[in-house]
Structure 1
Amino acid sequence: MGGLEPIIIEEQLYITLWYLGENDTIQKIADRFGVGEATVTQCRNKILKIVLKNLKKKFVVWPTHEEMLEEENLFAARNGFPDIVGALDGTRIPISKPRDHPQTYVNRKGFHSIQLQAICRHDMRFSHLYVGYPGSVHDARVLRNLYLWDVGLQRCNMQHHVLADGAYPLRRWLLTPFRNNGHLTLREKKYNKYHSSIRVAIERAFGNLKGRFRRLLNLQTHSVKTACKVIMACCVLHNIYIIQGDVDLADFLDDYEEPDEILHNHLIQERVYLKEIELQMLSCEITKVLV
């Protein structure tokens, strides 16, 4: 392993999960686990490589025809909006100032970031992912540059649809809300209301993702390549946890930005407990790959 201290795979997983789940520095993580800083980085890189090479293609997949019919029914159960199989949106992940072309990564809010664009199912599982465009690039431009732009209709079996907000262009397979010009009819307002209540699935998915993997709240790396790997791996793990029936604590955790000492200790205990559950889940999947 090029100098990596001999550590069992479970320990490497735990180190990586801690790295992804917290905003601790590499030095602090190394102190917590009693290893060198280089070991933390090498453990992270090894696990990320396994996740992206072996687990991404298994757990991030476009729904089959049968699954689309199921998604259509589950989305429609919310308010009757028919033929929907996903919700699309983009979010920007803060990163440190990149070494190359840093200005292109500055988004409209003024910080360096990388664009994550995704489509999710009714249960917040990602069915399509793209990571890598600089934060200054508009959501619609990202979509137009993706393969999905040309094959979206075929992917939706010529009859289903994905919902997106007004930042995206209207397509036969991609439905956006009516622009509010102050003269919307009652029917158009009702459409927008139902549209919004379905589209919230992708907003909740991003909230869940960032609530669990708090590294994504401020990904302190100057390497765009490393940042993309971390973001994509977090999305894969997000899907694994949902498939395994893990609980959603993102809303609970986000309610407390400045907890008192007692609550802070409670949250730390909860996160340690979650990591133990996550470790068991992920160990099973990693072991299948390594055997």
Structure 2
Amino acid sequence: MPKISQKRRYINDLCQIASTELIWSTNSNTRDGWQEFDDIVDEILLTEAIRYIVPRNPVPKSDQWYRNVLPDYNDDLFRKFLRVSRLNFGRILLMIQDHHVFRSNSSKKQTPVDKQLAITLYKLGNDGSSNSIHNVAAVFGIGGGGSVMLIIERVLKAILSLEHNYIRWPDENERANIELFMGDKLPKCIGYIDGSHIPLDEAQLDDPESYFTRKQRYAIHLQAVCDNDRIIRNIFIGYPGSVHDARVYSNSEIGIRPESFLTNGQWIAGDSVYAVSDFMITPFRNNATAGTASQRRAFNKYFSKYRVNIECVFGIMKETFGSLKGLRIRVDKQRGHKLACDWIMACCILYNIIKPTLPAIIVEDLGEEDHEMPEATRGNDRKRIGLFNFITGKLALQ
């Protein structure tokens, strides 16, 4: 239901009083009654003519912090506020500064590109109330919320133009090199896939129930594939949080046409929510029958040691860009959903750009695997059984 402003409520109250006064004046036909009615009508017309009935007190703003304080920070403090090193800030600025989105079509001059980038990185990197649009406007000394969002959308558009340079599926030669490296570990494994929920701080305007996850939060689904270096190689963003990982995969390009991504027996590793196929291998669930129970546990532990790379990617990315822990975006069909997806995509691109300078973290296998579910296979289980025999033999020699 639309929110009624204080001004509109006041006018509605005056109209009710005027109606009562009109009835009373008509019945009594006294001069005082009609004068009271005329005064109320004048008050209604005056209130309609003014924009606000409550004085507007703009938040004091100053760009002193950006101009005089931030430049004196050491690299650790600089990274704390803008989430990237000073060197990476300069690199990203060089990549986007000539994008056409920063060329004004009017006489009004844009905020300098470096400041627009700093504002966007600050917003991407923080969550919670301290990251509100009005706080950001105050810290950087710019206009109100509309100006901040215009700047952010502008910078996101420039960052998204870098997607094909920084999120690329490995070509045939690169996949051959990955095969060579993985030959004595997980033969023919090219990468690791998983889904992650990007929580939304507000309920959606359209079909909010579909965004509600098992963890009782609204969220958008992010599917990603990474390599051994924890570089993101493929992403698929936009499904509501209630949709199962396996269904998201089956509707993504890599799930629909896996043979376009994987050749010569290559495959990707996923957790057990996915169906086993010639292109996807997962750990065994509890009702599997291959080998002994202890052998299957050993296989799963060994397998997950590599598959956890994608969990590390999600963990590092959310720690670096804290807004991914709770997007403060109202999602609707017309605009908000696209903005949320662009926001997530930009964080993925930036992650790949700054990945060489990010700290390595160790993450235990965070996959929410339901081992009680029956084994799901697409085709036969031949490839996984072959891998199981390879790993079981390898572990027996250790």
TM bucket by the smaller chain?
0.7 to 0.9
Residue 238 (1) aligns with residue 348 (2): no
Aligned partners of 2:361 and 2:151: how far apart in 1?
Answer: 26
More displaced stretch, 56-65 vs 148-157: 148-157
1:88 match: secondary structure: strand
One of 147, 158, 169 as aligned partner of 2:275? 169
Residue 68 (1) aligns with residue 175 (2): yes
1:152-198: CA deviations, max 9, x gaps? Answer: 13311132110000011111011011112387624433321221001
One of 236, 240, 262 as aligned partner of 1:134? 240
Contact 1:158 1:173 (C-alpha < 8 Å) held by counterparts: no
Look up the match of 1:188.
296
One of 324, 339, 347 as aligned partner of 1:226? 339
Corresponding letter in the other structure for 1:247: L
Look up the match of 2:133.
26
Corresponding letter in the other structure for 1:13: L
Matches within 5 A, 1:1-291: 1=104, 6-23=110-127, 24-36=131-143, 37-52=145-160, 54-75=161-182, 80-95=185-200, 96-181=202-287, 185=292, 186-222=294-330, 223-242=336-355, 245-248=356-359
Contact 1:153 1:172 (C-alpha < 8 Å) held by counterparts: no
Deviation for aligned residue 1:66: 1.9
Contact 1:75 1:198 (C-alpha < 8 Å) held by counterparts: no
Corresponding letter in the other structure for 2:320: R
User: Structure 1, unaligned stretches of length 5 or more?
Assistant: 253-291
Corresponding letter in the other structure for 2:175: M
Aligned partners of 2:211 and 2:223: how far apart in 1?
Answer: 15
What is the TM-score of this pair, normalised by structure 2? Answer: 0.59
| Structure 1 residues 212 and 76: CA distance shift in structure 2, 3 A | farther
1:199-257: CA deviations, max 9, x gaps? Answer: 00000000011010000001011122211110111001111112xx21227679xxxxx
Corresponding letter in the other structure for 2:169: W
How many residues align? The count is: 247
Look up the match of 1:259.
none
Contact 1:61 1:128 (C-alpha < 8 Å) held by counterparts: yes
Aligned partners of 1:14 and 1:241: how far apart in 2?
Answer: 15
- Structure exhibiting the larger radius of gyration computed from Cα positions: 2
Aligned partners of 2:361 and 2:136: how far apart in 1?
Answer: 23
Corresponding letter in the other structure for 2:124: L
| Structure 1 residues 137 and 16: CA distance shift in structure 2, 3 A | same
| Structure 1 residues 247 and 94: CA distance shift in structure 2, 3 A | same
1:165 match: secondary structure: coil
Backbone CA RMSD of aligned residues = 2.1
Contact 1:81 1:194 (C-alpha < 8 Å) held by counterparts: no
Deviation for aligned residue 1:71: 2.5
| Structure 1 residues 76 and 217: CA distance shift in structure 2, 3 A | farther
Aligned partners of 2:361 and 2:321: how far apart in 1?
Answer: 10
Corresponding letter in the other structure for 1:248: P
1:15 match: secondary structure: helix
Aligned partners of 1:249 and 1:32: how far apart in 2?
Answer: 31
Aligned partners of 1:226 and 1:128: how far apart in 2?
Answer: 20
Corresponding letter in the other structure for 1:14: A
Aligned partners of 1:228 and 1:119: how far apart in 2?
Answer: 17
What is the TM-score of this pair, normalised by structure 1? Answer: 0.79
Deviation for aligned residue 1:137: 0.3
Corresponding letter in the other structure for 2:188: D
Aligned partners of 2:121 and 2:264: how far apart in 1?
Answer: 40
- What percent of counterpart residues are identical? 34
Aligned partners of 2:268 and 2:362: how far apart in 1?
Answer: 25
User: Structure 2, unaligned stretches of length 5 or more?
Assistant: 1-103, 331-335, 364-398
